[in-house]
Chain A
Amino acid sequence: MAEPSFRYIAKKRRPKEDRRFLAGSGRFVADVALPGMLHVALVASPYPFARLRGIDAKAALALPGVRAVVTGEDLAVATDPMMSGLDAPKLRRYPLAHGMARYVGEWVAAVVADSRALAEDAAELVEVDYEPLTPVIDPERAILPDAPIVHPEHGSNVLFRHKWTWGPVAEDFAAADQSLSLRARWHRSSTVPIETFGVVAQWNYANQLLDIWASIQMPKYPDQLARALRMPGNAVRVHFDVDVGGSYGVKRGLKHSILAGYLARRLGMPVRLMEDRLENMRGGDAQGPDRIFDVEAAFTKDGIVRSLKIRALDDCGAHAGRAPLQLGKPVGAICGPYRVNSVEYEAISVTTNKTPQEAVRGFGQSPTNFALETTIDRIAAQLGMDRIELRRANLIRKEEFPYTIPSGSTYDSGDYHQVLDKALAAAGHAALLRRRDAARAAGKLAGVGVACCLEPSGGNSAFEPLFNPKNETTTWMEACSIKVDLYGAVVVSMNTSSSGQGHETLAATVVGEVLERDPETIRVVHADSLTALPSNSPVGSRMAIMLGGAAAGAAKKLKEAVMAIGAKKLGVAADAVEYHDGEVRLRRDPAQKLSWEAIAEIAHRKFHELPAGMEPGLQAMHVLEVPTGGTLPTADGRVQMYPCYAFETHVVYAEIDRITGQVALGPYLVGHDCGTMINPDIVHGMTYGGIAHGIGAALYERFRYDETGQLLSGTFMDYLIPSAHEVPDVAIVDHCTPSPLTAFGQKGSGEAGYLGAPAAISCAVNDALAALGLKIAELPMTPALLSDLIATVERKT
């Protein structure tokens, strides 16, 4: 498939939404201020595990300006528990702790007052009688039979455990020349947006309608919110035109929203719940994967990887939510970009007395990529092979696509070898190695890292039926509608909120491309949940594929209508006209034509000139099923997870300070192939940002708990987000292998950079440490961790 040429797509164009943010006129949830609005502060558990014996709110309620204090008992009476992604009906989760507090920071009571400051004053006066219980903090301890049980009614800390075997694993291991095993540890971090989660709820008695403004990025959020509040979906209106201050997966404040909605109805006044930073970090239920991988690999003496056994134990924290499903998505790329004949995968999700997990950028794929690339490097080391040659020998070849991996997913397209070669050339890999060797000769700890990783994209939800056979979800649709007004102005409606991904630009560019109209003239709006068509929000690197595909589908329908109207007016058959720059003209005589505006006017005013059977007005909608979607997993757990697969190769140079353990990165180059880029600046921006996020996960960011269950990194003073000093000047070299499954050859890119950076940085650090005979497979490799590790050797010498 040749690289296609476009009019607006793949061109440098200024994003539509940037201007309002630059003018300081973005409208975030904290900017929504309603008359008479009340404010919420939370009372949080200081214990990781405790029985709630009683809550005394008398002193708090006596404070002037305090309107209510509510507890988990109130919520359990008035609302239904939030759903988890599993078939585990005894796991009950409410917005406030009910009966037991299960982690430090869990919300035990909510105080509502005329101002946030008053609510905080009153929260300090709420007296909670706790009976502390023995917590379980270590996930490996949690699966033992004598461990304290976080959810006694569930009967076990194991929330999900399943082992799949795809292909002849035992035979491949028996026949292999060599094998190895390793443990890789991905500690708990998250996306930690700079805007915390917030929600404003307003109950309108006259209309019996609950209005919600929220900084939300969550599939099925309106449905789940209404369900938990025991309201019909058409009584809850979620406003998707709220700007969301970053999310990258985690902005799923369902519990916050149920609480705010309940309070707004109960009090009859608008209610705002805006997390402060500490509430966000420890009580926002938005921490990320916390995973122990045990990997075995079988391979030939020439370095051909034949089989993998992967056991992933994930600590999802105190409540299940969708966290266990983050073990499921990697099934769709379980062997990465490599040809591996068979795979065994055991996924274990356990609950402990820690803050719950939420979906984090990549939904479990970045930790998996880190484990896979660590395995590849260890194989190279064991065989004494060059790690890049080993990758070349195992990467799927261009001519092998579409390529089906053992777990049943088919990769759509790719040219991994060429992207690898381009990245190495652009990075000056040979020169980097010389620089490394010179630095080593000068006594420095220097290394070069390389990683080859996949970004599955097009966000389907096939892990839901894989993890819960009672859930028969086989569609994860996205929709778009377009209308053209009487005078020809174009409005495109999308159906979810955005959190920085540039969807307005995406939709306008695609519609402009199909209709041959300047995207700058196209208005893009966000429907609210009552006017929206069915959609699933920007998760799973899906919007270029899904919103782009839906917008293209709607635009093509609209174009057909325009051509039909034009043909009738010109008095010819439909196939005698052609579409050009928004006009309809005769094929045999292009001078005979009808303008865009004239056709819009016919559609809106002149029913007598419309083709028979056509509805008046000029509008179209399209609801797109995920390409390759629509089927349930097989009995042995083979499934097409996501449709499209982007590929990236990272090359990074690193030096480690022997004393402080600080890692200095750069040069840093990534070769990236996500098919056709709708807007290259947007794709590049997400890739740079994903790498910065990956640097944080690799070197700095960790929600660290002590052995008693106290969170030690709940502020930005101790949870360290990379600044402009820690993130080097990154270079990108693009490659385009179009996807055969999408409207313009596009693939996803929202997780780009993040899916490979931790693996690449770990590779570079290990290359540097190899000079000391050290190796480490634990992220984040914080300065303290590396300093201590280096000291174990250097003290001896």
Chain B
Amino acid sequence: MSQHEISLTVNGRLHRGRAPARQTLVDFLRDELRLTGTHTGCEHGVCGACSILLDGRPIRSCLMFAVQADGATITTVEGLAPEPGALSVLQDCFWETHALQCGFCTPGMLIAAHALLMKEAAPTEEDIRDAIGGNLCRCTGYKQIVDAVKLAAERLSGLNQPAPRHG
């Protein structure tokens, strides 16, 4: 199996590594970079658990080889928060509405919703359902996820700010 030198920027950091030609991007992120927040659910491009942002667009990292991402700029779930230990507005809204249960599809959902909010500041319910329509969740029935994305859109536009929290 041929090995290939690749370099890619992940969550703002430049990484250089060697990838076998057949290694998928998700395996490279998880196994080589130890960014295990991105998950594999089906490895055939349906469930969306492996969603990441590649050059700003949401893609399925199980359907791409690592070598194809040479030179790309990538954001994974670990890169959504403004700083370590903090949560982004979207992540915080997922917490507020309890938009997750087991947490396995959650990174992919966050990526899909984040990508939507980057291009659409005031999404409709239909927009939201379209945006997450390629991400399967078995726990939530999607309701609290849709609520979280709506709330995040409001908060990002300055409305409906959270009350101060104790603790």
Residues of A within 8 A of B (CB): 14-15, 17-26, 28, 30-31, 33, 117, 191-196, 243-248, 276-277, 499-502, 518, 520-521, 681-682, 684-693, 715-717, 721, 723-725, 727, 729-730, 753
Contact = CB atoms under 8 A, between A and B. Distances in A.
**Chain B CB within 10 A, most for which of A192, A194, A688:** A194
Contacts of B38: 24
Interface string B12-24: 0000000010110
Contact of A30 (B40, B44, B98): B40
Nearest to A244: B102
Nearest to A118: B1
Interface in B106-151: 106-107, 110, 125, 128-130, 132-146
Contacts of A730: 141, 143
Contact of B42 (A30, A31, A244, A715): A715
User: Closest 7 interchain pairs by CB?
Assistant: A24-B37, A21-B103, A500-B102, A245-B104, A688-B141, A500-B101, A692-B141
Interface of B: 1, 20, 22-23, 30-31, 34-44, 46-47, 49, 76-78, 80-81, 87, 91-92, 94-98, 100-107, 110, 125, 128-130, 132-146, 166-167
A277 B76 contact: no
A500 B139 contact: yes
Contacts of A17: 103
Given A18-B98, A723-B136, A30 B141 contact: no
A485 to B, nearest CB: 19
**Chain B CB within 10 A, most for which of A18, A246, A499, A753:** A18
Contacts of A246: 101-102, 104, 138-139
Contact of B102 (A22, A23, A31, A193): A193
A716 B44 contact: yes
A688 B78 CA distance: 28
Given A245-B103, A246-B102, A246-B139, A22 B94 contact: yes
Contact of B78 (A18, A24, A195): A24
Contact of A689 (B80, B81, B139): B139
A192 B136 CA distance: 11
Contacts of A245: 39, 41, 102-104
A15 B103 CA distance: 12
Contacts of A26: 37, 103-104, 106
A692 B125 CA distance: 17
A18 B95 contact: yes
**Chain A CB within 10 A, most for which of B1, B43, B104:** B104
Contacts of A117: 1, 20, 22-23
A14 B39 contact: no
A195 B47 CA distance: 10
Contacts of B49: 194-195
Contact of B136 (A20, A25, A502, A716): A716
A79 B97 CA distance: 47
A681 B136 contact: no
Q: Summarize B's interface: helix, strand, loop or mixed.
A: loop
Contacts of B23: 117
B142 A692 contact: yes
A685 B36 CA distance: 25
A15 B98 contact: yes
A712 to B, nearest CB: 16
Given A716-B44, A717-B44, A729-B125, A681 B97 contact: yes
Contacts of B143: 685, 688, 727, 729-730
Nearest to A13: B98
B105 A31 contact: no
B136 A721 contact: yes
Nearest to B41: A194
B144 A681 contact: yes
B131 to A, nearest CB: 9
A181 to B, nearest CB: 35
29 contacts: A18-B94, A18-B95, A18-B103, A20-B103, A22-B94, A22-B106, A23-B81, A28-B39, A30-B39, A193-B104, A194-B137, A195-B102, A195-B104, A247-B102, A502-B101, A521-B167, A681-B98, A685-B144, A687-B141, A688-B140, A688-B141, A689-B139, A692-B138, A692-B140, A692-B142, A717-B46, A724-B135, A724-B146, A727-B143
Contact of A729 (B103, B107, B146, B166): B146
B91 A686 contact: no
B43 A276 contact: yes
Contacts of B102: 21, 193, 195, 243-247, 499-500
Contact of B87 (A22, A248, A501, A687): A22
B142 A724 contact: yes
A18 B144 CA distance: 13
A25 B47 CA distance: 20
Nearest to B103: A21
A21 B133 contact: no
Given A195-B41, A716-B47, A723-B133, A14 B139 contact: no
Given A499-B102, A721-B136, A727-B142, 18 more contacts: A21-B103, A22-B91, A22-B100, A193-B138, A194-B42, A194-B49, A195-B102, A196-B41, A246-B104, A500-B100, A500-B101, A685-B101, A688-B140, A689-B101, A689-B138, A692-B138, A721-B47, A730-B141
Contacts of A692: 137-138, 140-142
Nearest to A17: B103
**Chain B CB within 10 A, most for which of A14, A501, A691, A693:** A14
A719 to B, nearest CB: 10
Nearest to A691: B141
Contacts of B142: 688, 692, 723-724, 727
Contacts of B77: 23-24
Nearest to A686: B101
A654 to B, nearest CB: 17
Contacts of A693: 138, 141
Contact of B37 (A25, A502, A689, A753): A25
Contacts of B40: 30
A502 B95 CA distance: 13
A464 to B, nearest CB: 28
Contact of A500 (B1, B103, B110): B103
Contacts of A727: 141-143
